[in-house]
Amino acid sequence: MWSYQHPGFSVYQLPALNDNYIYLIDVDNSDIMAAVDPADAAPVRKVCRELGKPLTHILNTHHHWDHTDGNKPLKSSFACQVVGAAGDAARIPEIDIEVSEESRLQLGGIDIRIIFVPGHTRGHIAFLLKDALFCGDTLFGGGCGRLFEGTPGEMWSSLSRLAALDDATQVYCAHEYTLANLRFARSVDPDNRDLDERISSDTRKRMAQLPTIPSTIGIERATNPFLRPADNEFCTRYATLHSIPTDALSVFTHLRASKDRA
Ligand code: ZN
Ligand code: FE
C-alpha cells in the first residue's frame, strides 16, 4: 500500500486483482473513509481494520465488475453507502446515492465534483476532490479506456474535459497499464522527448515494484497519445502520415482503433 497527502485528506493506494488499484480516501478530522472502485473487499477490510476506521462510503466510477465486486461484501461488513452515476443506477450494485454533474456532494467537509465522462461505458463518471482526480477507466497513465459503450466523439470530449484540469492534478486511475500504453505511445509519437523521459522513469518504478500511478494531468497532456490530438503539430504530422483528416477527433479515432489492433 502507498499513501499520498492532500490538503484535508490522505489517499491510500491498494493493488488488487492483477493490475487494478483501489483507492481509500481518509478525510482528516472526520469519520469519513471512502473506497473508490473496490474490485475486491478483502484489501479494503484489512486496511480499515489496521487504521481502526470503518468504511463509510464507496465511490464507483462505472459498473464493471472489476470496480464494483466489493460493493456488496463491504456493505455487509460496514453498512457504508454506495455512490454512483444516477444515469447508470440500474447497473451499480447496491447503489444508495445517485449523483450527476449537478450534485453537490461533500464528504467530511471536502467538496466532490462529479465529472460525466462517457466513452468507456455510457454512465462513466470521475470524482474530483481538490487536486485529486479519480477517473476509473477513462484516462489511464499513457492511455485511455476502450470504447465499450461510447463513441470516439464522446470519449474525446470526456478526455478533453479531464485534460483541461489543472496541470498539477493527481491522476488516480484504476489500472496499472502504463508501460504497455507507453510502448504504443512511442510508436505513434516517436519524437516526443517528454515521452522518452517518462518511459525511463516509469520503467525504473516498475522494476522497483512501485506504481507509476498517480501521474498528473500535466504529464498526461504532454505524453498521452490520446490527449496529444489537442496539439496541432502532432495532429498534422499524424494525419498526414495516415492520410486522414487533420482534425483532433479524426486523429483520436484513428489512434484508438490502432491501439485496439495493437
Ligand atoms: Zn472498466
Ligand atoms: Fe477496469
C-alpha cell at 259: 491501439
CA–centroid distance, residue 120 to ligand 2 (Å): 9
- Give 59's contacts (C-beta < 8 A, 6+ positions apart): 25, 34, 35, 36, 37, 83, 84, 112, 127, 134
C-alpha cell at 208: 522497483
The pLDDT score that the predictor gives to residue 262 is 83
Ligand number nearest to the C-alpha of 62: 1
Mean pLDDT of 237-261: 97
CA–centroid distance, residue 191 to ligand 2 (Å): 30
Q: Rg of the Cα trace of the chain?
A: 18
Domains and CATH numbers, the chain: 2-226 (3.60.15.10)
CA–centroid distance, residue 219 to ligand 1 (Å): 22
CA–centroid distance, residue 151 to ligand 1 (Å): 15
Ligand number nearest to the C-alpha of 21: 2
The pLDDT score that the predictor gives to residue 42 is 98
Q: Work out the number of other CB atoms within 10 angstroms of the CB of residue 3.
A: 11
Q: Which residues are catalytic?
A: 62, 64, 66-67, 120, 137, 175
CA–centroid distance, residue 43 to ligand 1 (Å): 20
Judge contact between 147 and 184, C-beta under 8 A: no
Mean pLDDT of 130-142: 98
* For residue 82, pLDDT beyond 90: yes
- Residues written for the chain: 262
CA–centroid distance, residue 75 to ligand 2 (Å): 21
CA–centroid distance, residue 168 to ligand 1 (Å): 25
Ligand number nearest to the C-alpha of 20: 2
Q: What are the residue ranges of helices labelled H in the chain?
A: 41-51, 65-68, 71-78, 152-163, 178-188, 193-207, 217-223, 232-242, 248-261
Alpha-carbon span 237 to 243, nearest angstrom: 10
The pLDDT score that the predictor gives to residue 218 is 98
Ligand number nearest to the C-alpha of 121: 1
* For residue 196, pLDDT beyond 90: yes
The pLDDT score that the predictor gives to residue 138 is 98
Q: Can the peptide bond before residue 54 be classed as cis, meaning omega within 30 degrees of 0?
A: no
pLDDT digits (tens, 9 = 90+) for 32-45: 999 999 999 999 99
CA–centroid distance, residue 62 to ligand 1 (Å): 7
* For residue 136, pLDDT beyond 90: yes
What CA dihedral angle connects 181, 199, 19 and 75, to 10 degrees? Answer: -100
CB burial readout 62-101, b (16+ within 10 A) else e: bbbebbbbbbebbbebbebbbbbbbbbeebbbbbeeebee
pLDDT digits (tens, 9 = 90+) for 41-72: 999 999 999 999 999 999 999 999 999 999 99
Mean pLDDT of 231-240: 97
Of all residues in the chain, the percent with pLDDT exceeding 70 is: 100
Mean pLDDT of 128-156: 98
Helix-helix angle 248-261:232-242, to 10 degrees: 60
Mean pLDDT of 89-111: 97
Q: Work out the number of other CB atoms within 10 angstroms of the CB of residue 108.
A: 18
Ligand number nearest to the C-alpha of 120: 1
